[in-house]
């Protein structure tokens, strides 16, 4: 079966790569309009498949896809336009930089954002001239079938995008195949490591968007009510099943009591189903209970939540706030991927930056303060792919900016100009502007040594005047002797 899929993909690539970027963009505009016209039905399918509230399906899945298509169908032709690059040393030559497709790109996507994550990669891969094999999570298959249907009804040629259904055994065969030319994976760090091991055998270029343990830092001058509301949302939207969720909060000692009281009060207003959706993967519940048990045993106190529930046949977990937490607790160290908010105290900015950076993860962080200058200075010291000030989580929806992490949170970047170019092979083409024989060719003569000496002076002299005189001597020796 996979051999047939690969063959169809390769046949489609030979056709698709001949389109100009502007032509591919025009074709993808048809997909934009289908998604827009069917946004309510699409949101409903996502909500039913994942258990997230319909408003979250619309705001975190459908709208970002619409924006992505709108933005990149306009910007991609400029970003991927062939460019000349001036050469300051060998001015007799000219260089061209072009962006060319890999071929067959494998996109392995998760269940927590089953539309926006795969579409974010698919659209950029297609604009770059690749064809796509999508291996989605089997947990949210109705959304994957929807993606397949959307492309089949768009103007995108047949087999340019193929959706492959199946479990981990299918995924393993795909990532190990020599017929895959680029891999983009979003998921857990553990699975990402296995994919990298398989990809290494064929030296398949790979982008990894992996897990996180994102920290929020609340300084004593933070705008209290805004901070409370923002952190509660950042922790519990999508039931915390977001790699960019706030999973630990460090609060400066002077503000702890008021902050905790406000967070608990705000959290207790949240309603399951309406505000906090279901747990999409029921196996996650065991992790939540294990982390809570470990935290309580080590001295943490649960102020609200902490219990699982079942509603309309779906598992839920109450949004949970804990205090008296320490850095050695599992709920602070390891990814939770659920509606948990452990609160910790700190005294100095230097201390908290060190504690945040000790995590093996480095996806996102947020700083909450009225002092923007200080926050930006701190942001430069935090080891994370994204740092937001007085907000959290939302930046994955920004199509203009890069998305990705450091350390065990990933390799490479999705989204933005960086993400688009990640689906390209950069090619350098160089040619002579004037027909001079290169002095570095055989035979090696006294003249070629003199020319090389002047060239060394051109790049080695400490002053601009010295380098200019060397350039004049270089031209005389090279052109007239």
Question: If we measure between CA atoms, which residue out of 194, 159, 163, 199 comes closest to residue 180?
Answer: 199
The helix or strand, by DSSP H or E, that contains position 342, with its residue range, turns out to be strand 340-346
DSSP 3-state of 425:
strand
| 453 three-state secondary structure | helix
Q: Which one from 243, 325, 364, 424 is the annotated catalytic residue?
A: 243
Residue 364 dihedral angles phi and psi, to the nearest 5°: -135, 165
Is 136 in contact with 186 (CB distance < 8 Å)? no
Q: Say what angle helices 2-16 and 168-175 make with each other, to 10 degrees.
A: 50
Helical packing angle, 21-37 and 63-79, nearest 10°: 170
Q: Give the Cβ contact number of residue 13 at 10 Å.
A: 22
> Residue 386 to residues 353, 363, 374, 394, 405: CA-CA distances in angstroms?
15, 6, 16, 11, 7
Q: What contacts 24+ positions apart, CB below 8 Å, involve 377-382?
A: 378/217, 378/349, 378/353, 381/353, 381/357, 382/353, 382/356, 382/357
Give, to the nearest 10 degrees, the angle between helix 464-480 and helix 446-460: 160
For residue 189, give Cα distances in angstroms to 169, 357, 365, 383, 438: 18, 18, 18, 17, 50
Catalytic residue list contains 209: yes
Sign of the dihedral defined by the CA atoms of residues 140, 56, 62, 336, in that order: negative
Determine the distance from the C-alpha atom of residue 320 to the mean position of all C-alpha atoms in its chain, rounded to a whole number.
Answer: 27
DSSP states along 463-474: SHHHHHHHHHHH
CA geometry: angle 433, 437, 441, nearest 5 deg: 130
Task: HSE, CB side, 13 Å, CA atoms: give it for residue 428.
Answer: 7
| Contact by Cβ (8 Å): 218, 381 | no
Does the active-site annotation cover 325? no
303 near 295, Cβ under 8 Å?
A: no
Q: 340 near 331, Cβ under 8 Å?
A: yes
Number of Cβ within a 10 Å radius of residue 311 = 11
Out of 56, 61, 209, 454, which one is annotated catalytic? 209
Beta carbons of 373 and 344 less than 8 angstroms apart:
no
Order across the sheet with 131-135: list the strands: 161-163, 131-135, 104-108, 182-186, 206-209, 410-411
Write out the catalytic residue numbers: 209, 243
């Amino acid at each position: 079966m996979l051999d047939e899929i690969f063959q169809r993909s390769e046949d489609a690539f030979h056709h698709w790569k001949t389109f100009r970027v502007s032509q591919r963009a025009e074709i993808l505009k048809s997909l934009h309009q289908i998604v827009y016209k069917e946004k309510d039905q699409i949101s409903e399918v996502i909500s039913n498949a994942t258990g997230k509230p319909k408003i979250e399906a619309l705001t975190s899945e459908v709208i970002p896809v619409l924006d992505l298509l709108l933005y990149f169908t306009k910007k991609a032709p400029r970003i991927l336009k062939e460019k000349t690059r001036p050469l300051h040393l060998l001015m007799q030559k000219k260089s061209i930089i072009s962006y060319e497709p890999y071929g067959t790109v494998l996109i392995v996507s998760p269940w927590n954002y089953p539309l926006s994550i795969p579409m974010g990669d698919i659209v950029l891969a297609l604009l770059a001239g690749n064809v796509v094999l999508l291996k989605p999570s089997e947990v949210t298959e109705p959304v994957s079938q929807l993606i397949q249907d959307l492309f089949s009804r768009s103007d995108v040629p047949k087999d340019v995008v193929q959706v492959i259904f199946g479990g981990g055994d299918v995924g393993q065969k795909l990532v190990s195949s020599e017929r895959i030319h680029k891999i983009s994976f979003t998921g857990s760090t553990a699975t990402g490591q296995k994919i990298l091991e398989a990809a290494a055998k064929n030296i398949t270029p790979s982008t990894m968007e992996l897990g996180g343990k994102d920290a929020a830092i609340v300084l004593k001058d933070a705008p209290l009510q805004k901070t409370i509301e923002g952190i509660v949302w950042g922790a519990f939207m999508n039931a915390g099943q977001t790699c960019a969720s706030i999973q630990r909060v460090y609060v400066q000692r002077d503000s702890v009591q008021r902050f905790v009281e406000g967070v608990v009060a705000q959290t207790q207003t949240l309603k399951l189903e309406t505000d906090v959706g279901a747990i999409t993967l029921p196996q996650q519940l065991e992790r939540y209970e294990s982390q809570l048990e470990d935290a309580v045993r080590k001295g943490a106190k649960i102020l609200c939540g902490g219990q699982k529930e079942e509603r309309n046949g779906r598992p839920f977990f109450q949004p949970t706030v804990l205090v008296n937490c320490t850095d050695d607790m599992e709920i602070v160290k390891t990814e939770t991927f659920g509606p948990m908010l452990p609160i910790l105290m700190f005294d100095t900015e230097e201390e908290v930056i060190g504690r945040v950076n000790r995590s093996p993860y480095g996806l996102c962080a947020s700083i909450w303060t009225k002092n923007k200058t200080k926050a930006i200075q701190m942001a430069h010291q935090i080891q994370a792919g994204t740092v937001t000030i007085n907000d959290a989580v939302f930046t994955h929806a920004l199509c203009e900016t890069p998305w990705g992490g450091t350390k065990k949170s990933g390799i490479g970047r999705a989204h933005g100009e960086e993400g688009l170019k990640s689906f390209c092979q950069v090619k350098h083409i160089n040619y002579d502007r004037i027909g001079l024989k290169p002095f570095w060719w055989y035979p090696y003569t006294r003249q070629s040594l003199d020319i090389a000496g002047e060239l060394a002076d051109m790049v080695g002299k400490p002053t601009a005047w010295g380098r200019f005189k060397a350039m004049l001597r270089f031209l005389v020796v090279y052109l007239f002797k």
